Amino acid sequence: MKKGKSNYNLTFNSDSTLVNNIVQSYLKESGFNMYEKKGEKYYRAGDAMLGYKGFNYSINGNNLIIEAWLDGALGDFPLEQNSLNMLAMDYRNSLNKLFQEINKLNNGGMNMNNNFNNQNINNQMNYDPNTGQPINNNDNNNNFVQSFQDETMKKKERMCEIGFWLSILGLVCSFFGIAYGIFVYIMDFYFASQGLKTRKKGKAIATIVLSIISILFIIFTLIIANS
């Protein structure tokens, strides 16, 4: 698999400070922190369970240049070469949300594709339809922060759903003496933990309970078989 980074170049005509605020809000709400490896500083998010994501950006005039990649132990890998990887898919979705929020500044059209050199965002002032007054930038900030928070919440809820159905399958298999394997049970607990602070809290708790029952049932079966 070829190593490297995915590169995105966005051309805009709006306030660069606001664009920078959007990027910083995206990084904060997506769990990115400044990280240094081999003398290179960049933003990194993720964990040892599912893997890490790398992100770097710069603003030159009206150009927003973004580098995004999967930060693995064997090197950096572009997102396009990992289209079936769950981490890569989630990363691409979150980047798409970032591009959409930048797009909303000026009601232009933008989708997540490499090399946005020819994409322009028209600079337009947004007005409150009720008062006719310009919308405060702080309101815009709150809007895109909420958007990034919602995207992160949806990601955790998806992981919780996966863990829930895996735990049900694991419970059914345990009745037939089929053990999932320790790694899958660890993944069950991990996915459940992601959903404990979301609207899927009930399913997260159910996932933990079902996984524990499966493990206890398998242990009980092994004890009976060896007695």
Architecture of the domain spanning 6-124: 2-Layer Sandwich (3.30)
User: What is the DSSP secondary structure assignment for residue 104, as one 8-state letter?
Assistant: H
Mean pLDDT, rounded, for 197-205:
86
* Range of 51-55, 77-81, 211-215 with top mean pLDDT: 51-55
Strands (E) across 4-78 are located at: 6-11, 33-37, 40-47, 51-60, 63-72, 75-77
Instruction: Provide the 10 A C-beta neighbour count for residue 216.
Output: 11
State how far the Cα of 204 lies from the Cα of 192, in Å rounded to an integer: 4
* Range of 22-26, 164-168, 186-190 with top mean pLDDT: 22-26
Asked if 7 contacts 115 with a C-beta cutoff of 8 angstroms, the reply is yes
Quick: pLDDT tens for 110-146: 433 444 333 333 334 443 444 444 444 444 555 656 7
Percentage of the chain modeled with pLDDT above 70: 77
Among 143, 139, 195, residue whose Cα is nearest residue 164: 195
The reported pLDDT for the residue numbered 52 is 92
Tell me what the pLDDT averaged over the chain comes to: 77
Percentage of the chain modeled with pLDDT above 90: 18
Predicted confidence band at 106 (pLDDT cuts at 50, 70, 90)?
low
* Range of 61-65, 134-138, 161-165 with top mean pLDDT: 61-65
| Domain extents in the chain | 6-124, 158-226
The reported pLDDT for the residue numbered 223 is 83
Q: Please state which of the ranges 16-20, 23-27, 195-199 shows the lowest mean pLDDT.
A: 195-199
The reported pLDDT for the residue numbered 124 is 40
- Pairing outcome for strands 75-77 and 40-47: unpaired
CA–CA distance from 86 to each of 51, 82, 149, 160, 207 (Å)? 10, 9, 19, 14, 20
The reported pLDDT for the residue numbered 55 is 96
Residue 94 has pLDDT above 80, yes or no: yes
